[in-house]
């Protein structure tokens, strides 16, 4: 792996946002995720590679440490901030799709769940794939999804969940959407989700990554 990608992954893992950030103290005065991502783009490393070989592995490490009790919530938050700083640089590449939209895609993280990094990425990539994206944010209720569909008939819907405790909320949302708008295509995703869960709750598709979601959406038009 390019050295710079290893450095970015470390910044994500340690929550080093940028040069000015005094956190973590042992990395004070060093460039952070912000500057290094900009440099990686200048070195013409593909944005998709920066995402898959630096940002995602960095988050993976901090997630594993958190699971083992080696780091705590503030550490996760700093990692999320560092990842967002990187994503600001990647955003224009993921979003530079066709101007004419293929359709409308409503996306949100389900009720009770505040994780938005994966959902934001999916939104960016789908937008880059030529879709108009309506991002309902996090902690989104069934009513809010239905309300957005009322205003955008024919839109497809994407649900994201990162917690095993919020996965069941997907089922209620999918059921309510299908009751009112049976033809609506619903895609689900997020770390604890899999294909058999999608089948079980009546979602049309599960994808582990944003590109799968775009390919599926494109196949529906
Ligand atoms: Co949380 N958290 N967290 N957290 N957090 C996890 C998910 C956890 C696995 C960590 C762990 O224990 N190892 C664990 C869940 C355990 C479980 O349920 N089995 C966990 C926990 C327990 C919690 C809290 C309950 C902690 C607490 O308070 N005790 C709490 C819950 C808050 C809440 O939501 N109500 C909590 C809070 C937080 C922070 C706020 C501190 C922060 C989130 C900041 C933010 O999102 N703005 C945070 C973080 C950062 C994580 C980890 C470390 C990273 C998540 C992430 O952003 N990954 C995470 C551990 C991990 O995943 N390694 C963890 C990077 C992102 C790009 O990946 O979101 O999976 P991901 O998205 C991927 C794919 O899944 C897919 O595409 C993306 C790109 O590849 N995808 C889709 C996602 N949605 C999709 C939708 C699609 C298609 C694909 O179609 C629609």
- 3-class DSSP string for 13-49: HHCCCCCCCCCCHHHCCCCCHHHHHHHHHHCCCCHHH
Mean pLDDT, the chain, as a whole number? 92
CB distance 109 to ligand 1 below 6 Å = no
CB distance 216 to ligand 1 below 6 Å = no
Q: Whose CA is nearest to atom 86 of ligand 1?
A: 189
Going by C-alpha positions, the residue among 183, 190, 113 that lies closest to residue 158 is: 190
CB distance 190 to ligand 1 below 6 Å = yes
- Mean pLDDT across 56-83: 87
- Mean pLDDT across 11-40: 97
Q: Which residues contact 165 (CB under 8 A, 6 or more apart)?
A: 112
Q: In angstroms, rounded to a whole number, what is the distance separating the alpha carbons of residues 157 and 145?
A: 8
Ligand 1 centre from 162 Cα, in Å? Answer: 5
> Which burial class, exposed, middle or buried, applies to 8 when counting CB atoms under 10 A from its CB (0-12, 13-18, 19+)?
buried
Q: Which residues contact 168 (CB under 8 A, 6 or more apart)?
A: none
Helix (H, G, I), strand (E, B) or coil at 117: helix
Whether the pLDDT of residue 103 is over 60: the answer is yes
Instruction: Enumerate the domain spans of the chain.
Output: 2-96, 104-219
At the top level of CATH, the class of 2-96 is mainly alpha
- The pLDDT, as a whole number, for residue 149 is 98
Whether the pLDDT of residue 98 is over 60: the answer is no
Q: Per residue in 118-144, pLDDT tens?
A: 999 888 878 867 788 999 999 999 999
- Mean pLDDT across 199-206: 98
User: Could you confirm whether domain 104-219 is CATH 3.40.50.280?
Assistant: yes
């Amino acid at each position: 792996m390019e050295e710079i990608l290893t450095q970015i992954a470390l910044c994500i893992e340690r929550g080093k946002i940028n040069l000015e950030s005094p956190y973590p103290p042992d990395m004070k005065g060093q460039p952070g995720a912000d500057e290094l991502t900009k440099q990686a783009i200048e070195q013409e490393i593909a944005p998709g590679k920066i995402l898959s070989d630096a940002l995602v592995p960095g988050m993976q490490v901090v997630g594993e440490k958190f699971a083992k009790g080696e780091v705590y919530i503030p550490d996760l938050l700093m990692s999320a901030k560092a990842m967002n700083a990187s994503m600001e640089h990647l955003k224009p590449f993921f979003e530079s799709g066709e101007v004419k939209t293929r359709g409308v895609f409503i996306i949100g993280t389900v009720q009770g769940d505040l994780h938005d990094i994966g959902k934001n990425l999916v939104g960016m990539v789908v937008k880059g794939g030529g879709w108009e994206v309506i991002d309902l944010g996090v902690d989104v209720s069934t009513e809010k999804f239905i309300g957005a569909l009322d205003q955008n008939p024919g839109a497809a819907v994407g649900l994201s969940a990162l917690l095993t405790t919020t996965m069941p909320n997907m089922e209620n949302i999918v059921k309510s959407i299908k009751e009112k708008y049976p033809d609506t295509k619903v895609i689900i995703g997020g770390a604890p989700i899999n294909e058999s869960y999608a089948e079980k709750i009546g979602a049309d598709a599960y994808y582990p990554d944003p590109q799968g979601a775009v390919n599926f959406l494109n196949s529906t038009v």
